[in-house]
C-alpha cells in the first residue's frame, strides 16, 4: 500500500500545481465571457435602434412577448440590450446586469416560435456564460471588485 501511495504523491502534487496555475485564468475567462455575451446583446440593441420602425413591427408580429404590450416590450428590450451589456462589459453591477441579460435571453427564446437549432444553441451558450457571472461575479478584472477594494480598503480574493 505504501508503494502505491508513494507513486501517487507526484501525481497529486502535479495536479495541485496545475490547478493553481489554471485558477489564474479565472479572471481572464470571466472577462472574456462578459465581453462575448455583452457584445452580442449590445450589437442586437444597436440594430434595433437603427431601424425603430422595423423593431416595432417585429415586436408586434414576429416576437410573441408574453404579458407586455408590444411597444413596451420593444422599449424595455432595446433599453436592456443597450444598458445591461455596457454594465456587464465594464464589470459594474456584474451580477445584476448578467441576471438581467439572462432574463432577456430567456424571453428572446420564448418569444420566437420557430428558432433555428444553431440560434437556440447560441442562446444556451449565452445563458450558461451569464449564469457563470451571476454565480462567480465579474471576477478580479471587474469594476465591481475595484470599487469594493477601494471602499473597504481590503484585497478581495
- Check residue 151 and give its pLDDT: 85
Global confidence as pTM = 0.81
Q: What span, in angstroms and rounded, lies between the C-alpha atoms of 60 and 115?
A: 17
- Check residue 134 and give its pLDDT: 95
What's the number of CA atoms in the CB half-sphere (13 Å) around residue 35?
8
pLDDT tens column, 58-88: 999 988 888 889 999 999 999 999 999 999 9
Amino acid at each position: 500500500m505504501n508503494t502505491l501511495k508513494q507513486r501517487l504523491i507526484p501525481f497529486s502534487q502535479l495536479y495541485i500545481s496545475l490547478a493553481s496555475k489554471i485558477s489564474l485564468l479565472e479572471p481572464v475567462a470571466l472577462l472574456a465571457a462578459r465581453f462575448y455575451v455583452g457584445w452580442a446583446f449590445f450589437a442586437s440593441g444597436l440594430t434595433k435602434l437603427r431601424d425603430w420602425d422595423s423593431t416595432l413591427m417585429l415586436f408586434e408580429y414576429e416576437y410573441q412577448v408574453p404579458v407586455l404590450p408590444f411597444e413596451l416590450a420593444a422599449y424595455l428590450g432595446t433599453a436592456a440590450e443597450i444598458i445591461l451589456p455596457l454594465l456587464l462589459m465594464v464589470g459594474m453591477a456584474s451580477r445584476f446586469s448578467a441576471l438581467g441579460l439572462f432574463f432577456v435571453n430567456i424571453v428572446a427564446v420564448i418569444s420566437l416560435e420557430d428558432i433555428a437549432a444553431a440560434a437556440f444553441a447560441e442562446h444556451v451558450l449565452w445563458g450558461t456564460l451569464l449564469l457563470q457571472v451571476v454565480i462567480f461575479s465579474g471576477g478580479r478584472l471587474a469594476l465591481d471588485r475595484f470599487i469594493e477594494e477601494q471602499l473597504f480598503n481590503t484585497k478581495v480574493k
